[in-house]
Structure 1
Amino acid sequence: MQSISKGGGGAGVIAALGGNAEALAKIVGDGQSSTPSFELAALEKALPEIVRLNVEQRMARYDVKKDRAEVMGIAALVFATAARQLGISKLVAPGVGIREAVLLELAETAREEQAAAEGAHDKALLTAARGFANRVDHDTTHGEHVRLLARALFHQLRDVHGVPDDMGVLLEVAALLHDVGEVVNPQGHHKHSEYMIRWARLPGLDNTAREMVALMARTHRKDGARARQIINESPLPKDLRKQCLKLSGLLRIADSLDTQHRSRVEQVVATRMGNAIVLDLVVRDGPSRGDDQLLRKADLVKDELGMELRVTVARPVDPTRPNDPTRPVDPTRDPTRAVDPTPPVGPTVDPATPSGAIPVGPVRDGTS
C-alpha cells in the first residue's frame, strides 16, 4: 500500500467492480437497487464480523454462495484498506466487472476492424472501377470530378437524404463510370453505360449493388420523371429503389455542376436552410452567364427530398491578395484539383445559421 498515494480530505467516491463489491454493497450498502453504494465507515464497522466468520457462517449470515463466502473477507479488507489509503469515503458498485470491460473492448475492436475492412473494400471497389475504365479506354477526368462532388453532397446532406453511409461508395462508382458508354457512342451513352456496368468485371460488386450502380448511370440523363420510372420498374426491393432514387438525384446534381467537363467547381458547401438546400459553390473562373444550368437536373432530388434547391457562385480568393476578393486565382494553379491543400477560401456558413441548418464542409477526398 505504500505505492498508493494518499488522497486528500476523505471526501472522494470511487467505483468498486466485481462480485465482491456487489456482495458488500448488499451487506453494508444504502439499499439502492439501481446503483448500490456503501460508505467506508459502514464497511469498516462491519469488517471485524465479516473477517471473523468462517465460510459456512458467512454463507448463512449473508446469503451468499460458497465461492463468494471464501473470498469476501479478504475483499472487504482490501477495499477498506485501499479506500482509507486513497482518502475515499464512499464506494459505488455499478454492477459491472472485468468481463463487461473485456466484452466492450472486443466490441470496440470489432467495430474498428469492420470500419477498416469497409474502408479497404471501398478503395478496392473504386480501384476496380478505374481499372475497368482504363481497359475500355475511357477518360475518367470528368468522372473523378463528379465523384468528388457527389461524395461531398452525399456526406454533407446525410441528415436530409437518410441513405445509409455504406451506400456512398456505390454513388462514387456510378459517378466514375456514368459516362463510360461514350466509348461506344456519345449519343445515348447513358444506355451504353448501363449495359457495360451490368456486364463489367468489377470485383466487389454483388448483383444488387451492380444493379444500383447501373441504374444510376442510366438515369443520370434525361428528365427526373423518366429516371423515376426506370428505377421504379427495376427488380430492386422497394426500400432500395427509394435509396437509388435519392442517389441518382445526387449524381444528377453533381454531373450538372460539371456540365462542360471543365472542373469549374472547386468547392461545394451544402446547407439546409428551412425547406431548401443551398449550394454555395467556389468556381474557378467565377460567376458566368451559364450558371443557371448548374441545377438543370435537380428535379429528381427536389421531388425525392421535397425541398427546393438554390445555388450561389463565388470566385476563389487569391491567397497572395486575401483582401481583394475580385482578384482572380493564380492561373498556374492546377484546375483539375478539387481542393487546394491549403485551408479552403470561399463562401462559408454564417455562424448565425438559422435553426435547422446543417453545418457542412468543402469537398474532401479520403479514398484515392
Structure 2
Amino acid sequence: GTNTLRRARNAREFLDAARHALGRPVEIISGQEEARLIYLGIAHVNPLEGSKRLAVDIGGGSTEIIVGRGFDPLRSHSLDMGCVRASRKYFPDGVITRDAFRKAELAAALELRAVREAFRTLGWDAAIGSSGTINAVSELLRANGWDGPEMTLARMKKLRKAMITAGHVDRLELDGLKADRAAVLPGGLAILIAVFRSLSVDTMTPSSGALREGVLYDLVGRIERHDARDRAIRRLVEQYHVDLAQAGRVERTALGLLAQVEDAWRGSDGWEPQEGLARKLLTWGALLHEIGLTVSYSGYHKHGEYLVSHLDLPGFAADDQRVLATLVRGHRRKMSAAVFEPVPADRVLFTRRLVVLLRLAVLLNRSRLSGTVPVPDVRVEETGLSVKFPTGWLDEHPLTRADLESETDYLRGTGLELSVVDGSA
C-alpha cells in the first residue's frame, strides 16, 4: 500500500479523508524512508554484530534493497517493481508460461541494472529477505521438498518449473501455498530470481521482521532519544557548514517564544496534535535556516527550501519534511500564500505560526552576538501575537525596532497580525 499511495493521483484527498475518519495524522513515507525502516526491522529481528547484510523486501508495488551494518543502512534503493504489478502485467488472468517468466525476469533485471554495480561493490556477509513474497517462497520450498538451510537460485528454479507446468494460478498444487498469495506469486518469484541473478546472491534467509517492526523500533528510538531525524539534521549541519553558534542563538530564542504561546495554541484549531513536534520542527528550522548560504547569499532562503525539500532525510515523513522546508523558505523576506502551498491544507495554520516564531527569532539575533537580545514577552491575541519588550529596549535598539515595523507589514498579508509593545506602554 505504501507505493500505491505514493503513486496515487488522489493521494492528498485520500489522506485528508483518512485523517478525518481516524482523527489522527496519516503519513505517506518515501521509498527511501520505507527502505530504511524495513532495514531497521530486519536488523533488530536478525542481529549480526559487525557484519554487513543485504536486505531485500518485495512488496506489491515496489522492491526495497538495502545494504547496512548493524542498525545503519549504508546504501538503500526503492525500485519501481512489485509482485502485484508484475503479476498483473506479465501473468494476466493468472496464466503462467515460460515466456511470461522470461519477460518478467528481464523487466526486473532492467530495473536492477542501475543499482547492481553499486551493491556488488559494497558487498555483504549475509542476505536476508522479508515480507510476503520472500516468506511465501521460503515456505513453498520447504513444504514441497526443495528446502535446505537457506533459499538458493537452484531451488527457486524448481518452484518456477512447477508453476509453469501447472500453467495457471488456479491449478497450482503446492503444499504451503495460501490462497491469497497464489495470484501474485508468479510476479514475486520472477523479481526474486532477478535479484539473485543481478546481485549474484548465493543464499538468502527469510526474516519475520520488516516495515511494521521497523516503524515500531523507530518510534521507540524517538522516545529513548535515538531519533533518526535528529541524526539526519546533524548530518546536514556538518555537510553544509552551518554556523552553529548563530543557529543555537536562533534556536534558543525561538523555543523561548514557543514556550510562551504553545499552551494557548494547543487548544485551538490547526495545532499539531503530535506531542513535541512543534518544538522539534522549530529546532530543526533554526539549525537549517541558513543552509542555503552554501549555494549563494542572494535568495538563500529559497536555495535552502530546495535543499531541504529534495535531500534524503531519514526518519522524516513527507509532510513533516515539507513543513520544515517551508520554515526555511519563510524565515526571511516577504511572505505570501504561495510560500505555504507545498504544505497540506490542514497544516497551513500550524506551519504559519511556526514561521512567525522563527522569523522573530532570526530578526532578534541579526547582530549574531550572544547575550544581547532578551526574549520578549509574547501573548496570543485573537488575530495574532503581541510582543512586549523591556522598557526602553526598543529605543536603545532602533534598527531592531525598524525591523519589527517591517515585519508587521510582511505578516499582515498572512492572516497573522503582529503588534509590538514597549514595556512602558
TM-score range, shorter-chain basis? 0.3 to 0.5
Higher share of residues assigned helix: 2
Normalised TM-score (structure 2):
0.40
Normalised TM-score (structure 1):
0.46
